[in-house]
Amino acid sequence: MVVISDIIVLGVQMLLVLLLAPLLTGFVRKIKARLVRRQGASVFQPYRDLLRLLRKEVVLAENTSWLFRVTPYVTFAAIWVAAALVPTFATGLLFNWTADLIAIVALLGSARFFLALAGMDVGTSFGGIGSSREVMIAALAEPAMLLVFFCIALVAGSTQLSTVANFMGSSYVGLRVSLGMAVIALIMVALAENARIPVDNPTTHLELTMVHEAMVLEYSGRHLAMIEFGAFLKLLLYISLIACVFLPWKIALFGTGPLAYAVGAGAYVVKLAAAGFFLALFETATAKMRVFRIPQFLGAALMLGLLGTLLLFVSRSF
């Protein structure tokens, strides 16, 4: 019985992220448009885009292999699973323990791995540019993220997201320097991972400046739809990750009835909106940096993460 309910909750969560992801992106775009005094497309534009893409035919480059066609589904699936494993509005779900923070990083990593391969599969230099830059960014972003999670795990004494969320929600986590550093580092990593300004510009189509876009340049039709959808999900995932770790406010505990779940869900939506607003604000306020400034940017994140971890021992003596 419990299992059934849990599975239901899990399913709800998976669907929820699936539904909310495009909306979030649309919302961010809308805000950005407004901030620059434009009307902007409706917040539901991403859904329309996806449906349009699904209806279109797929144009494959001559040289592409099966890998190119499989990749969109693999990446989508990986990101979706990762997103589903992050507690959004409720913790202690049935399958939260199948993977912890490290595993989530790794799942995103495998999504990127396949995307980069697909970029190289085309056999043009654009794919190459994209993939090589992407892996360079990832090579710096992943360790930074892992360090942030070390820091969190050392505080919470666990890498299990539910445990972490509960712990962070609990009263006896004071404000900590290292946690502050961790959150900043995590935000920087999130910007990089989601190809947002200042690391990458999701809306550019000037090949030489693009990273992520160059990599998926050859995708079209339903494949592109899956890729786009994956990107939306990823953004959602990071935001909800930050939310559930650093402000697990009103997040529903395991087994507390539907009401609590509803409250949690509401809180979750609010958090998303807030985060989206700030993201848009930030993006309009800053300019994209040159590709080879990115290492410094991510290096800073890495350092922050390490510093945070080391400062733990100062602030808190075991």
Partner 1 sequence: MSSVVLQISCVAGLLGIAVLAIILSRAKTSTTIIYCATTAVSLVALFGSIRFLVGEAPNPSGLVLPVGLPWLGAHFRLDALASFFLVVVNLGGASASLYGLGYGHHDPAPHRVLPFFPAFLAGMNLVVLADDAFSYLLCWEFMSLASWALVMAHHRESGNAKAGYVYLVMASFGTLALLLAFGLLAGPTGDYGFAAIRAARHTPYVATLVLILMLLGAGSKAGLVPLHVWLPLAHPAAPSHVSALMSGVMTKVAIYGFIRVIFDLLGQPIWPASVVVLFLGGITAVMGILYALMEKDLKRLLAYSTIENIGVIFASLGLALAFQANGQKLAAALAFTAALFHVLNHSFFKSLLFFGAGAVLTATGERDMDKLGGLIHRMPFTSFVVLVGCVAISALPPFNGFVSEWLMFQAVLQSPELPQWALKIMVPAVGALLALAAALAAACFVKAFGVTFLGRPRSTAAETAHEVDRYSLSAMIILAALCLLAGILPGLVIDALAPITIDILGGRMPIQANEPWLSIAPIAESRSSYNGLLVMIFITLSASLSVFVIHRFASHAVRRGPAWGCGFSDPTPAAQYSAGSFAQPIRRVFGTLVFRARDHVDMPAPGDVRPARFRIELHDLVWEGIYLPIVGAVGFSSDRLNRLQFLTIRRYLSLVFATLVTLLLVLAIWS
Instruction: Kindly state whether residue 57 participates in binding partner 1, applying the rule CB under 8 A.
Output: yes
* Residue that the structure tokens 């935001």 belong to: 239
Tell me if the bond preceding 87 is cis, omega within 30° of 0. no
Instruction: Kindly state whether residue 80 participates in binding partner 1, applying the rule CB under 8 A.
Output: yes
Our CB check for partner 1 shows the closer of 177 and 262 to be 177
Measuring CA to CA, how many Å separate 316 from each of 146, 173, 203, 304, 311? 20, 11, 44, 18, 8
d(Cα 208, Cα 216) in Å, to the nearest integer? 14
Query: Which of 301, 290, 185, 197 has its CA nearest to residue 241?
Result: 185
x-marked contacts with partner 1 along 210-249 as a string, rule CB under 8 A:
-------xx--xx--xx-----------------------
Q: Is 90 helix (H, G, I), strand (E, B) or coil?
A: strand
Under rule CB under 8 A, which residues in 112-131 are in contact with partner 1?
A: 112-113, 116-117, 119-129, 131
73 forms beta bridges with none
x-marked contacts with partner 1 along 245-274 as a string, rule CB under 8 A:
------------------------------
Our CB check for partner 1 shows the closer of 38 and 316 to be 316
Q: Cβ distance 282 to 190 under 8 Å?
A: no
Under rule CB under 8 A, which residues in 82-101 are in contact with partner 1?
A: 84, 95, 97-100
| Choices 21-29, 31-39, 48-56, 279-287; region in contact with partner 1 by CB under 8 A | 48-56
Our CB check for partner 1 shows the closer of 120 and 263 to be 120
Instruction: Kindly state whether residue 8 participates in binding partner 1, applying the rule CB under 8 A.
Output: no
Q: Cα 287–293–294 angle (5° rounding)? A: 85
Q: Which of 106, 269, 273, 289 binds partner 1 (CB under 8 A)?
A: 106
Under rule CB under 8 A, which residues in 136-195 are in contact with partner 1?
A: 136, 138-143, 146-147, 150, 153-154, 157-160, 163
d(Cα 272, Cα 188) in Å, to the nearest integer? 17
Q: How far is the CB of 40 from partner 1 (least distance, A)?
A: 27
